[in-house]
Amino acid sequence: MTRTPVQTRALLLFLVVILLTANAGWAQERAPESGAALHDLRVDVGYLSADHLEGRETGTAGERLAAQYLVDRFQELGLQPGLDDSWIQPFDFTFSANPHAPQGEGMPRTGHNVVGLLDREAERTVVIGAHYDGLGYGGVGSRAPGDSLIHNGADDNASGVAALLEIARQLQASDARSHNVLFVAFSGEELGLYGSKHFVEALPMPAEQVSYMINLDMVGRLGENQRLVVSGTGTSPAWSAALDAAADATDLTLAEDPSGLGASDHTSFYLEDIPAVHLFTGAHDDYHTPTDDSHRIDVDGLQDVATFAVRLVEELDDDGDLPFTETDNERQGRQMSFNVSLGIMPDYVFEGEGLRLDAVTDADGPAGRAGLQEGDVIVRLGDTDIGDIYAYMDALNALEPGDTATVVVRRGDEMLETKVQF
């Protein structure tokens, strides 16, 4: 007997409530109606990260089950189909597990974005998004490559999708009415932002009518320090005051990163000159492994993050169109403390040994002048072996303008050594 989503939800409700009620020791006082919202959050995270969905890899049966569940939830929340009379936006792409494969080589795949609309009959629209696809049984992107176990993806990113649904519930009751709101659950993110790239290429309205985008990716581990990382704050001067007001209203502490480019779907909007921020509660050891499970999710914190996003929308309600500002991703935000830069864009989703270059962003920068290329993997910089992005940051930290350093890169099967001049 195939269970309907409703029967599965009832069964999961029983299981998840048993499992989770114990861990909210630091929960603050909450409005009575948020009790029902809290268990909806638990159930949404529980269902989406259940083995039943096999890690929700794009193009699989698990992805389609999740998509159907989201359509049902969007309907329950009173949203309308986001694409005329359709909830689902299929998109085709070609994917190869080999990061060096030429463009267009690989297996064809079809992913499915799920789109719901809160129609305020307004001229302008806000996009709130979260990817719902996951890593399936591991493989590409897994930090446990030897493990072909289900990567349940509770924090990455069932948490963001559950928060998206809670934001829809709260905005239905909000006085913020100057924008329509499109709620988008993207697929194809883990394989390379394919769903959001397609969505911005096929927007249901002119890009000029989209005021801004809020992206939720890994928001399930807020924890006691109530610290929320917000990237993309440099993509409009309007963000700062609104973020501060929303943080005050929710007692969250923000760690801001102005960079508009990052390892998630907000980047697709930034590249279309649409101001976009990414909400994130931080990396952890379970990231991209089979142990990213629902019992580790801070559900009270998840509701706080959702409420924060709602406050942000309310703060910006009268602002109309937000002015867009390009960010100098190398020197701002994450690299604010460095005195030098290589002039590259790191591949944030690369899981191999080293730091893979997603792009040489400055042809006249040290990397450009030294002949480094997209796809190169830096394994040594100066005196530092580069195992990941953090080692790269440490290596940059040790360098000063005017310094010359040896850099070793892996290009295909070759190891190349050259010098970079800062």
Our CB check for Zn ion shows the closer of 156 and 314 to be 156
Binding mask 30-49 for Zn ion (x = CB under 5 A): --------------------
> What does the DSSP 8-state code read for residue 334?
G
| Shortest Å, Cβ 157 to Zn ion | 4
Tokens of 8: 């599965």
Measured at the alpha carbon of residue 13, what is the angle toward residues 163 and 252, in degrees to the nearest 5? 30
Our CB check for Zn ion shows the closer of 217 and 358 to be 217
| Shortest Å, Cβ 397 to Zn ion | 27
Q: Judged by CB under 5 A, how many residues of this single chain contact Zn ion? A: 3
- Whether cis (ω within 30° of 0) applies to the bond prior to 157 is yes
Of residues 41, 46, 38, the one with CA closest to residue 11 = 46
Our CB check for Zn ion shows the closer of 152 and 157 to be 157
What DSSP line would sit under 108-143, residue for residue?
EEEEEEEEEEE----SEEEEEEEE----TTS-TT-S
What DSSP line would sit under 51-99, residue for residue?
GGGGGG-TTSHHHHHHHHHHHHHHHHTT-EESBTTBSEEEEEEEE-S-T
| Shortest Å, Cβ 349 to Zn ion | 9
Q: Of 44, 156, 286, 300, which lies in the binding site for Zn ion, with binding defined by CB under 5 A?
A: 156
CA distance 316 to 336: 27
By CB under 5 A, residue 231 contacts Zn ion: no
Angle between helix 299-315 and 33-48 (nearest 10): 110
Please say whether the beta carbons of 90 and 111 come within 8 A. yes
| Shortest Å, Cβ 111 to Zn ion | 14
CA distance 147 to 149: 5
Q: Contacts from 389-397 at CB under 8 Å and sequence distance 24+?
A: 389/346, 389/348, 389/355, 391/355, 392/346, 392/355, 393/334, 393/335, 393/338, 396/335, 396/338, 396/340, 396/341, 396/342, 397/337, 397/338
Element (H, E) at 229: strand 227-231
If one counts every other C-beta atom within 10 angstroms of the C-beta of residue 405, the result is 22
**Range in contact with Zn ion (rule: CB under 5 A) among 4-12, 116-124, 152-160, 268-276:** 152-160
If one counts every other C-beta atom within 10 angstroms of the C-beta of residue 271, the result is 15
| Shortest Å, Cβ 135 to Zn ion | 9
Our CB check for Zn ion shows the closer of 132 and 366 to be 132
| Shortest Å, Cβ 221 to Zn ion | 13
**Range in contact with Zn ion (rule: CB under 5 A) among 94-102, 157-165, 265-273, 329-337:** 157-165
Our CB check for Zn ion shows the closer of 161 and 238 to be 161
Our CB check for Zn ion shows the closer of 37 and 191 to be 191
**Range in contact with Zn ion (rule: CB under 5 A) among 84-92, 133-141, 155-163, 409-417:** 155-163
**Range in contact with Zn ion (rule: CB under 5 A) among 33-41, 114-122, 156-164, 265-273:** 156-164
Near Zn ion in 201-230, by CB under 5 A: 217
Measured at the alpha carbon of residue 133, what is the angle toward residues 131 and 135, in degrees to the nearest 5? 130
| Shortest Å, Cβ 189 to Zn ion | 6
Our CB check for Zn ion shows the closer of 73 and 278 to be 278
Tokens of 298: 């801070």
| Shortest Å, Cβ 284 to Zn ion | 13
**Range in contact with Zn ion (rule: CB under 5 A) among 21-29, 40-48, 139-147, 151-159:** 151-159
Our CB check for Zn ion shows the closer of 180 and 264 to be 264
Our CB check for Zn ion shows the closer of 54 and 156 to be 156
Q: Of 58, 113, 152, 157, which lies in the binding site for Zn ion, with binding defined by CB under 5 A?
A: 157
| Shortest Å, Cβ 2 to Zn ion | 29
Our CB check for Zn ion shows the closer of 39 and 334 to be 334
The contact set with Zn ion (CB under 5 A) reads 156-157, 217
